Structure 1
Amino acid sequence: MSTKLAVPCLLLLVATAGPAFAADTLPEAIAAPGESVVLSVHAEGAQVYECKAGADGKLAWAFREPIATLLSEGKTIGRHYAGPNWEHADGSAVVGKAIGNAPGATSGDIPWLKLEVASRRGSGVLTPATTVQRINTHGGKLDGACDKAGEFKSAPYSAEYVLLKKG
């Protein structure tokens, strides 16, 4: 093989292997060594907050639920909502329970998460998933005081959700 051909092939190999390398650089708290990808999707939506009294009696924004569209190659393939649930268009769905987190890139980004699948329903793409990672978050954080108990406010966010299985 000539060098002229080898370099573009090597670059193509590195470009296509990129996401696999990215998994190796995740913070330890959310890493899932030995697990393989079932589905990786982009999410666009909002984190919904409610104005509630805290332990100190002062009103502050408290996280209520996520509402997001799951996208693959620019097409809607599912949704993410309270539970937290991830539901695929084929009817398969999983509910996660947070077991690890790491800070987002900026103070306005919600944390990266590792969730274990606590339950599943339907049969399809998501059925074998045992772990969900939320990575590459942008936005979604709402902190601070609020004025009226029961008021809702949404903070737009995006993230990548990687659904994994053992082995």
Structure 2
Amino acid sequence: MKRRFLSLAFLAALLSAVSALAFAVEPNEMLSDPGLEARARVISRDIRCLVCQNQSIDDSQAELAHDLRVLIRERLLAGDSDQQVRDYLVARYGDFVLLAPPLKPKTYLLWFGPAAIFLVALILIALYFRRRRQDAAPAPLNAEEAARLETLLAEDDDTTAPRREGPR
């Protein structure tokens, strides 16, 4: 029974590894010109799948990704440069379609927001530990507290121990 389970687990792992090797680009999408196909693949790796959102259209199996891959190849066949194809997609879908959005005022928060949050967190942690260190130091005793301490120590002391003269 255990051996059969291990065999099935191995088979499942093997199948998942093989399926991970499958490419999203279908053979009927590929261009006959290897140079244009290479350009199309480079562009496709930089374009976000609007369905999957954290995958490039080159890796995505979504139907929209397929349509965008075909559109890129059509634009390249029509003579567009790589930048013209990217500009066309950005004009149609916005900067969100790019996996690495450009650095411009509209995207400053996207680019610098995580670093700003990290710095604020570091400052807050430093302030917390500084305050904690200050709170850890005992406050000096006032005269009443010192007298009370002295009486408590005197009650506890042996008669042989010398008497203390207050806090030092």
> TM-score range with shorter-chain normalisation?
under 0.3
The one of the two structures with greater contact order (alpha-carbon pairs below 8 A, sep at least 6) is 1
TM-score of the pair, normalised by structure 1: 0.25
TM-score of the pair, normalised by structure 2: 0.25
Kindly indicate which of the two structures has a greater share of residues assigned to helix: 2
Kindly indicate which of the two structures has a greater share of residues assigned to strand: 1
Greater gyration radius = 2
